[in-house]
Every structure is written in structure tokens, then in C-alpha cells.
Chain A
Amino acid sequence: MEFLRPGSWEEALAAKAEHPAAVPVAGGTDVMVEINFDRRRPEYLLDLNRIGDLYEWETGEDEVRLGASVPYARIMEELRAELPGLALAAHTVGSPQIRNRGSVGGNLGAASPAGDSHPPLLAAGARVEAESVRGTRLIPAEEFYTGVKRNALAPDELIRAVRIARADGPQQFSKVGTRNAMVIAVCAFSLALHPRSRTVRTGIGSAAPTPVRARAAEDFLAAALEEGGHWESGRPVPPSAARRFAELAAGACNPIDDVRGSARYRRHAVAVMARRTLGWTWEAYRAGGREHRCA
């Protein structure tokens, strides 16, 4: 094994171009587990810890450009206003030790269907900034997840940043697990209200081979809110519409039975989380869109 230690982003891209099989490692919370357990023996480890750019973010008018290695601890503490859904999800990742090292870039690189950051990225609207010596491309989150632990990166590409739409309304994240910490999601759900465009977006984790949006549920809810004049009046969402939204969210799942839960339970839990997060976000919208209750 060789340990590559680029001191700049350009050096990292050059190293990845020269050694496409090199495994990037930042927080190490996924990669080191695989090495410790002999599940992986990469020829090259590409250490990204020395590249300061990856640990910074820029807040623009419409989006946050989040460096790939910004640890979850900083997202939950410092980006709560701009990225409320992701900040809530970040708070549910592992433990303080894991949140000090793990990052959204790592979650995307691993592309586990259970990764906690995927549902809020899908719900907020996000593009992955993938770069190689050949250039940069922006991959919408929906197109980034291509299969179980597979993503759309080319062998010579690295994740530079994630461009995430700034919240224009309340967002929520909910996750089912056996305790409040150190939990891999049995399943997870994120909902973002977008009052500016009068749309809603969702993200479902750990209930299909990849993280997915529940598009039929989104379309149904947007139409129901529009037809009922709810965006203007702020009137509560009718229980029948909330129920239908929840059913459609469950219908977007394609879960499996595994050690963490059965497919049937996951569908049921996604419906429950869809209904609850709708209640919380709508209540926050009615209260002025400034309050974000904790899942």
C-alpha cells in the first residue's frame, strides 16, 4: 500500500488521475473500518486531510457550497439556518467522535443507501461538484446515486464540494433506529417546503437500493396545497391529504428485509415519518417559517 499525501487540491486531482484506483480518505469513518476489518486493501490511500479548501464553505445568495470534508459537527453547529435539514441529519450521525471526522463528501463517496446526509440533500436540492484534471461537472444528487454503494463518479474524479440550495422554508429530518446515537438508519425521511416555488421535496434513506425522492408524493402534496390555497392562508393540511402524502411516500420505497428491519416495517415507518415531518414543517411555516423543531 502507498500513502499519497497531496498538499493541494491540484495535487490531489493529479494523484487521482495517475492512480485512478486510489481510495480517497478524509474522516476515515468508512474507509478505515474496511481496512481494519481486512475488507479492503487498496493499493493507494489518498489522504485529503491536508487540503484546507475541502474544510471550508461559502454561503451565496441561493446556495451553500459546502467543502467535501467539512465535518458534521460544524454543519450542525454553524449551518443550521442555511441548511436546516442537513444540520438535523448531521446531528444524528454516529457520535461526537464520528461527527468530528465524518463529512458529506464521505457520505457521497460511500453512497450507502443508509447515509444520513442523502435524504436532506435530495429534499433541499443539491448538486455534487465532481472534479478531475479533465474539468468540473455538477451532478444533481438524484443522478449521483447509481446503486447500492455505487455513485456516478468517474475513476479519476474527486468530490470537491456539494452545492446545496439554501432553505427558503422549513425543513425536517427524521430517522428510525434503536437508540438516539450510534445508529445506522433503519430508514430515514427528510422533507423541505419550498414556499418560493410552492413546491415540496422529499428524500428517503435506507428504504430502497439508493436514496430516493418520493416524487408522486411531492406532486400530490404540492397540488393539494395549491388547490386549497394553503400557501396563502397557512391553514392546516387536511388529514386526508396528509394521509395520502404518507401513503405515496411509502409507495416510493423499495425496501429489503435485513438485520435492521423488515421491508414491511420500513414502508410503514416511512409513512409515519412523512406524516410527522409534514406536520412539523407546516406548523413551522404557519409560525413564520423561522422555527424548526427537532425530529
Chain B
Amino acid sequence: MRVNFTVNGRPQQADDVWEGESLLYVLRERLGLPGSKNACEQGECGSCTVRLDGLPVCACLVAAGQAEGREVVTVEGLAEHARRRAAGDGTTARAPAGTSLDEARRWTPAPGGPGAQALSPVQQAFVDAGAVQCGFCTPGLLVAADELIERNPEPSDADIREALSGNLCRCTGYETILDAVRLAAARAGEAG
């Protein structure tokens, strides 16, 4: 079947989608967006966390057909999502522009390089706090942490722990991850 939906602000079409396929598979294998990670496939680990119509969900548990007509934001679109939010563009998800697939594929974490975009504040905070070890859980944590700060600009430690309770870090690097979220929230507070 064919699925039409919006990913990181751009309309996308996926063809030959198997009816039992997950949104995660479509993102990774059909749209070339491997940022969302595939690990447990049962909603335990959170490494496939994306925003579906604004809400953080496990992409592995959304049937591809359920994404029809919906708005998805993945880690590849997080910087642009954050930039538009900061610019006060309330229509982030619905904006016709956004990160193109080609742009997303060329994306590198090196700031300022050719074709590279600035990191989102949460991504930059993860870099600065050293919150990345093997990196596998990072994309899901970034999406979850960004949504937390969007919803709650001054989260307590308990708020952070709860918001990230569905994201597992196999390297057990939780302390620096908490540091990074506190740092991102503090910087957002200073900027605001």
C-alpha cells in the first residue's frame, strides 16, 4: 500500500508498504532516515522515539498505515523544529518547508560544515555535557528531551526522570544525560 504523510515538514510518499509494517521501518528503510533507531521493537527502549502529531511515541508500535496524513518529526528534523519553535512559528509541523530528505541525509554533527545545519539546543547540550557514549539511544533521548523542554521549560529532576523513563541507555550514561537536559533547559531559560 501507499502511505502519504509529512516528515520533518515535508510531504512524503512511501510505496509498496506492507500492511503490518511499522512507521519505524518506513522511516528507516523506505525514506532513508536512519536516525530513529531500531532495537527492541516492543516499546521498551525508546530508541525509535519520534513525534507523531506532536506527541512522543515509539515509531516501532505505530502501524505505517496509521501515519497516513499525519505529521512526523524525527531526530533528523529536530534542529529545524527547534529553530522554528524559537522563531515563534506556531505552525512548525505544518509549514511547507522544513528539512528535505537530501538535506537530512547530508546532515552531519559538525557545526558550520558545508550543508550542515546548527544543532538544536538539546543536541548541543548533549555534546557539551558529554551525554553520548555509544550513541544508540541518543536520537530517542533527544526527541523525548526536546519535547519535555517544549512542554515544561523548567523541569525538575523528577520531571526529567519521568519524561525520559521510556528511554533506555545500555551504556548506563544516565547521569550525564540528566546533566545535558538540565543544561538545555537552563540555556533556554537564559535565552528566553
Contact = CB atoms under 8 A, between A and B. Distances in A.
Interface of A: 1-3, 5, 25, 27-29, 32-33, 35-37, 41-42, 45, 47, 49, 73, 94-98, 100-101, 180-182
Contact of A32 (B56, B62, B168): B62
Interface stretch (B17-25, B80-88, B183-191): B17-25
B19 A28 contact: no
Nearest to A2: B19
B2 to A, nearest CB: 11
Interface in B41-80: 41-44, 46, 49, 55-58, 60-63, 65-66, 68
A33 to B, nearest CB: 4
Contacts of A97: 43, 46, 49, 56-58, 144, 166
B43 A33 contact: yes
Contact of A33 (B19, B56, B61, B166): B61
Contacts of A29: 43, 58, 61
A35 B65 CA distance: 14
Given A25-B66, A97-B144, 13 more contacts: A3-B19, A28-B62, A29-B61, A32-B43, A42-B20, A49-B66, A95-B43, A95-B46, A95-B165, A95-B166, A96-B163, A97-B58, A180-B165
Given A33-B41, A37-B42, A181 B166 contact: yes
Contacts of A25: 63, 66
Given A28-B62, A97-B58, A36 B165 contact: no
Contact of A45 (B41, B58, B62, B65): B65
Contacts of B110: none
Contact of A101 (B42, B46, B61, B144): B61
Interface of B: 1, 18-20, 22, 41-44, 46, 49, 55-58, 60-63, 65-66, 68, 144, 162-163, 165-168
Given A45-B63, A98-B43, A32 B22 contact: yes
Nearest to A1: B19
A182 B55 CA distance: 18
Nearest to B163: A96
B61 A32 contact: yes
A94 B43 contact: yes
Nearest to A180: B165
B55 A32 contact: no
B165 A47 contact: no
Contacts of A181: 162, 165-166
A100 B19 contact: no
Contacts of A182: 44, 165-166, 168
A28 B166 contact: no
Contacts of B42: 33, 36-37
B166 A3 contact: no
Contacts of A33: 41-43, 61
A35 B168 CA distance: 22
A278 B185 CA distance: 40
A78 to B, nearest CB: 15
